Structure formats: C-alpha cells, structure tokens
A and B are shown apart, each in its own frame.
Chain A
Amino acid sequence: MSDNPDLRICPNCGQENSLYTLRCIRCGEEMEELFQLEGFDPSEQLSNDSPQEDQAPLSEVLASLDDSPLLAEPVENHVDENGGDHAGDDQSSVVEKELPDWLERVRQRAQEEEDASGELSKLGHTSKERRQVDEAFDDILRRIREQNEREKTRKPRTTEQGMVDEKGDPEWLRRIRELHPKNEEDPRETTLKGLPLEDDDAWTKEELQELLRREMGISEHADQAAEDEKFEEIETIDSAEPSIDLPFQENFHNIADDDQDEPQEEEPAEPEEEANAEEPESFPDNDPETENAIDEPEEPDGGLQDQEGAVEQPDEETAEEAESEITPPVDKVLPDLLLLRNQRERAQVLREVIAQEGQRTITLLHEPARQGKIGRFVLALMLILAVLGGILFGGEAGIANQPIPAPALAFEENLRSITSTHPVLLVLDYHAATRGDIEPLVQEILAILDSNRVTTRIVTANPENLWLGETPDEFIPGDMLGYLSAAVSSDPAWGQLPLAQGFSGDAKIYHEVDQAILISDSSEFVRAWLEQVSPWQSGIQTSVVTTSVSEPMLLPYFESGQLRGIIAGASQFRALGTTQQGSINQYAWQAGTLLMMIVLILGMIMKVDEDRQRRTEERSQ
C-alpha cells in the first residue's frame, strides 16, 4: 500500500493506482489483492493445501481422515449411519502397538467426541454425491466472495449513510445541497401543518422518522429522545439544503482554489431557490399522510403528530444553526470526497475546456477581409509594375546612388588588403532562393582575389551549394559540427580521425588560413561560426557576405570587432568599388522599397478608417 490511503501500489510495476481499479494503469496487471474476503486468506488456503490435495474436494479430504489408520476405530464403535466406507480396521491392531502416547490421546478424544467430519462428508460418500456436495460448496463460496466484493466496493458509500436515499436522490446531490444552503434572507415558508417548507425532493420529517425507525430497529415510543437528536441532525442538514441545483453548475465542486472566485456567482442561484421553494407543494410525496399510508400503514397517527410537535422545537434551534451554515466553507465538505492534486488539475482543465466552448480562442489570421483575393492581385500588379518601371525607366546606369554603410566599406577595405601569402577560406552556405542577392557579390569578390593572386579554398557543408555558383573544393560533412570538429581536433597519436578519411583533399581546412569569408544567407550560421569555430581559430579574421535581411543581426558582431566587414545584398554592390550593374537593377529595388512603404502607410490609414467606422456604428447603436 502507498502512504496515501486512496492509492495502492501495483505489486508488478510499483505504479500507484486508485483503490478501486481492477487493473494497474501502467502495466495492466490484475490487482489481485483488491478483493479479499474477511477472514478468508487465499494465500493461506493455497499454501496449506499440498499440490496433490489442491484438487481434492473437501469431502474426500474428510473422508480420507476417516480412512486414516491413525484415527481408525474398532468396527463395533464406528458403524456409520449410511454404511460408510471405512477400511483398514484390520490394520488397527497392528498400528496400536506402535502408537505414541499423544496419538492415543487423540484417538481417545475422537472416540468421545462426535464425528468432526461433518454431515457433508457423511452425505457425500458416493462419488456423485460428493460431486454435488462439492458443487454446492463451491457455489456457496462463490456467492460469499461476490457478496464481499460488492460490499467492499460499496464500503465507502455506506459510511455516508447510504449512496442513494429512498427517494432516489444520489449522494452527490445531497452533498451539493449541503454546499448551497438556503439564503438567510429568504423567509421560511411553512406548510399548512406548520412545518418548514422544504424542497420538493427533500425528506419530510415523517419520512425521516420512518427511515430512522426502520434502520435503527427501535420502537416508536422507546428511544424517542435519541431519535429526536438524530432527527435534529438530519433536520440541520436538511434545512441547509439549497434549491435544486443542476450538477453542472460551476460551483458544485469542492476545489478550494476556485471557490474564492465563486461567491458572486452564487447570487443568480437565489432566484432559482425562491422559485423552487414554491414547487414542493405540488408533489404528492410531500404529503406526510400519503407517505405514511404507503410506508407504514400500521403506524398510528398520534405518534406522528407527537413527533411533529417535538420536531418543531428543535426545528427552531436547528434553523439558527442552519443559517449560520448557509455557505459552508469548502473544508467542511465530508472528508471522504478528497481530490488528489492531479485530479484537481484535470478538473480545472475540464472546466477551462467547457468554458471555452463556442469561444474563438485562437486569433485566426483570416477574417472576412474586405481585401479578399482581388486585393492581393492588385498588390501583386502594383509590385510588378513598379519593378518593371524601375527597369524600363531607370536609365542606363542601373546602380542607384545610395549611401554605403560602414560595414560594407570595412569589408571592401579588408578584401583589398588580402595578400597572396596565405590562402583565403571561402565558406558557402546559401540557398538557391537567395543567389540573386549573393552570387553577384561572390563573383566580384573572386575576381578581386584573382586579380591579387590570392589562393582560395572553397568549402561547403550545404549540399545545395554543390550546384550553385562556384563549385566547392571540399564538402564538409556534418555542417557546423564538421567545421567545429576541423577547428578543434588535432590528429590523435593512434592515427586519423574517422572524418578525415571522408575528405578528398586535406582535412585540415584551416591550415595556414588567416582570412575566412563566410558567404551565407542566414545570420544563424554566421553567429554559430563566430561562437563555435572562431574561438578555436582565433588567428583567422572573418568577414561576411550575406543578404540584407540578415545584416541587422550581424551588426553587433561587427561593432564588437568579431567581424572585419559585412556586405549585404545587391544594394551594397557599389561598395566593392565597381561601376558594373551586377544582376540587380537597383532602381527597381528602390521602386519596390518605396511601394512597401506606401503599402505600410496604407495599412495604417485603413486601420484608422476602420476604427472610425466602428465607433460611428457604436454611437449610432
């Protein structure tokens, strides 16, 4: 068993399970120890029985005891009524000589006392009869076990004075009513007989009396004081009953955390209570005379009247108590309804799920957009026209006169300073989608390096770069891990590292390199390089060719000196000191940028207009 009395531990896997589960929730093993007969220990039964005797029915065992030579009697003393089968009389004389004292005493006692084998063994001497006896006995045992099982499962309910009362009200409903007693200010309406008006399905005093009498088995007149006390208790509980509450109201639970928010929600229930308070009169069951006529025809009416009078006085006393218990705190809930924390959380989740029913909880991106598909088509046309206009009407000089940012100037300066003494490592890591932004720059850079007779070593770990632009000299397996492995590791004494065998050329890609140019469309790649590889190759100066999207995230690295320069996108082509256009018409680029600004401003204006219209509609409503 676990420390928590509500849980038990599976003997197979150690998982905690509820008391009433039949099988373990984790391993599915049957919880054999669950059902036990009081006083019946199956393990003892099994251990006591020898393997041979397991199958032997009781009658045979008893019969064999009779047949035992140790207990054998002389023929004249043990003539069985049914002419039972006793064998081995001849052996008795032989055995007698060898018997120890204690056995003699046992035999003597057996002679004096009645036959302890019982009627069953006497009756079932024949095999058929024995079989019938066995079956009957097994049947009895089975019924006993089933009854015990039923009682076991019902056991906690019995402590609550019955799961379902005579009227058919379930226990949970009774408990709900206890949590929501009637309001103080509600005037207590009384019936014609002077009894406080109760709910339509509440117990009447007469019914309670009858129930008590039946259960306690006491007479009408005797122990009346005790009944009155009990009746007061029941009355106290009964008077605290609220009106009929549906089980799915929010405050029917005993979850402590939620009840703090609940008090204001109880108020709408009050009118229901008042409304329901008028209904009980229509129910015939509330008529005590009818009830008594049905249930207790023999009961004299006088007794009821006496009890009614006796009840009225304690009723006043208990009414005060009931008023003080209108809102019983949660901790006064009967202790048998305990929730585990897990169950409490799941109940909370269920409540949230139910609360979200019918609500749109995800801000769907789509709305009944006025723009629709035509709006997107118009935008696309505008973009295409702007770009085309830039190309057609941009003039011969396709390079716009844009300011060159400092990182691009620094890149160009660094590039020009590279000498032919050491090779330059070019690391490719871009996609086909961004080649338009990167490849013109790469070609220009390679041209500059060629003109300075600088040896280049082009590597890539991105398979796409095998067929984009420049063909790399080496493919590095493992992407960033491969670069890191090449930067960190040195040749071990026992030979080569496994990855070195995968290189077609020299595995030491950083050998004699003092400049590395990262050509990547991802700021994440450059950051990973600077954070992982650069610390282990601190002699290598790094510069970057990237897209304009990634440039802002790399500027801090340039400011801190980790990058020698950044050139981003075709818009900074002019930084390389060339007058050629490249593959991008920069007037078209400018037109597109201008259009983007216009669209952004348009979005703001549309939002302002929408808000104004909504306010106008609200005012008109």
Chain B
Amino acid sequence: MKQRTPVIIAAVSGVLLLVAFFFQPFTSPYLGLVLNWAIILASVAFLVAIASLVVTHIRFIINGRKGFLFSLVFILAFVLTVVFGLYLGIDDQQYLEAIHTVLVPIQSALMGLIALVLMSAAVKLFRTRGWSILTVSFGGSALVFLFLNLGFLRLDFSEGLNDVIAMVQRLPVIGARGLLIGAGLGALLMALRVLFGQEAHNE
C-alpha cells in the first residue's frame, strides 16, 4: 500500500488535468491555478537544487576532494554573479556586458569543438559501427544532402531533374514525420503507463 499511494496520486492528478483541459470553460481558472502551483513548486525545487549544489561544492573544498579547484572556481563565479546581480540589478548594462563577455566565448568555443568532434566522428563512423544498412544509409544521405545544400548544383535547364531534386530534398521531411510519429506514440504510451500505474516499478 505504501508504494501504491504515490502511483494513485499521480494517476488521479494526470486524469484530472486531462479532464480539465477538455472542459475548459468551467475549469480554466482552476487549471491556471494548478499550473501556477506547478511552476512555483518547480522554482522552489530549482532553488533547493542550487543550494544543494553550492553546499556540496563547499564540502568538496573543505574535504580537499580531488578536483576541488573546479569547485572553488564554481563557488567564486556563483558568489560574484549573485552579489553583483543583486547589487547592480539584472538591468544594469555593465553587469550584462560582463556576463556576456564570459559566457559567449566559452559557449562559442564549445560549438567550435563540436564541429571538430563531428568531423572526427565522421572519419571513424564506419570503422566503429561497421557496414550495415543503417550506417550506409546514414553516410549516404549525409553526403547527398550536404552536397545539395552547398548550392553548387544548378539544374535550371531541366524541370524534371529539378523535380527529382525537390523530391529528394523532401525525403528528410518524410523521415522526420515517421520519427516524430514513433516518438509521439512512445511518449503517449509512457504517459498512459504512468496514468494507469504500470510504471510503479517493483523488482
């Protein structure tokens, strides 16, 4: 019974919200209220998680855990950001500039690394996964669409060939539809399992 109570609560809450969505003229204010509660709860959980993170990193520093320098940098950055944000306000342009100056280069560098990583992954793709229908179609389609998107191919002289290319360019749409339908069905089934309590996992 102990394990069934949260399952029942989750299922009842889900069903009530679903029903509320479909009978909205009557339930609209209550629905909004429930969503507000969810947002407030999520925000409080967010604060709790931040506090837990800070305390954990402080503990790492005190205990001298391996890699505590990273924790030190984190605590320092966190304290500075919070203190100056509270003092100057988030509308202050200098404050925004300062954060902008730190954030943008770091994330841009990460994106540059991603480009390099994907290139090296492209070299090793077939060596890692071998020859299979999936890898061959993956590599082949990547080549075709990269080439088409380059814009080198100009086929103004032939309508038929243009149609063929247009049809080939629509293939990702077809594939994406199939994937989205599949992912949607999977998510639907997952949600139904939660509603019916089948996700209460007992080993």
Contact = CB atoms under 8 A, between A and B. Distances in A.
Interface of A: 363, 365, 367, 369, 371, 375-376, 379-380, 383, 400-403, 405, 431-436, 464, 466-468, 471, 477-478, 481-482, 484-485, 488-493, 497-499, 527, 552-553, 555-556, 559, 571, 590, 592-597, 599-604, 606-607, 610-611
Given A433-B111, A498-B40, A607-B131, 13 more contacts: A376-B116, A379-B120, A405-B169, A432-B106, A488-B21, A497-B36, A498-B37, A556-B176, A556-B177, A593-B146, A596-B118, A603-B127, A604-B126
Q: List the 5 closest A-B pairs by CB distance, nearest first.
A: A489-B32, A478-B39, A492-B29, A402-B151, A433-B107
B45 to A, nearest CB: 11
Contacts of A467: 96-97, 99-100, 103
B90 interface: yes
B53 interface: no
Given A488-B35, A597-B147, A432 B103 contact: yes
- Give the interface SS of chain B, mostly helix, strand, loop or mixed: helix
Contacts of A363: 128
Given A432-B108, A606-B127, A492 B32 contact: yes
A603 B150 contact: no
Interface string B94-121: 0011011001101110110001101110
B142 interface: yes
B151 A401 contact: yes
Contact of A489 (B29, B106, B146): B29
B182 interface: no
Contacts of A433: 107-108, 110-111
A374 to B, nearest CB: 12
B127 A400 contact: no
B166 to A, nearest CB: 9
Given A401-B151, A436-B108, A552-B172, A603 B28 contact: no
B42 A478 contact: yes
Give the bracket for the number of chain B residues in contact with chain A: 35 or more
Interface of B: 21, 24, 28-33, 35-40, 42-43, 90-91, 96-97, 99-100, 103-104, 106-108, 110-111, 115-116, 118-120, 122-128, 130-131, 139, 142-143, 146-147, 149-151, 169, 172-173, 176-177, 179-180
Contacts of B169: 405
Nearest to B31: A488
B66 to A, nearest CB: 23
B39 A477 contact: yes
Nearest to A552: B172
Contact of B32 (A365, A432, A488, A559): A488
B124 A485 contact: no
Contacts of A488: 21, 24, 28, 31-32, 35
Contacts of B96: 466-467, 471
B124 A603 contact: yes
A486 to B, nearest CB: 9
Nearest to B43: A477
Nearest to A559: B173
A376 B124 CA distance: 11
27 contacts: A369-B124, A371-B120, A371-B124, A379-B119, A400-B151, A464-B103, A468-B100, A471-B96, A477-B39, A484-B35, A485-B35, A485-B39, A488-B24, A489-B28, A490-B28, A497-B29, A498-B33, A555-B173, A556-B176, A571-B149, A596-B118, A596-B122, A596-B146, A600-B146, A602-B123, A603-B124, A607-B131
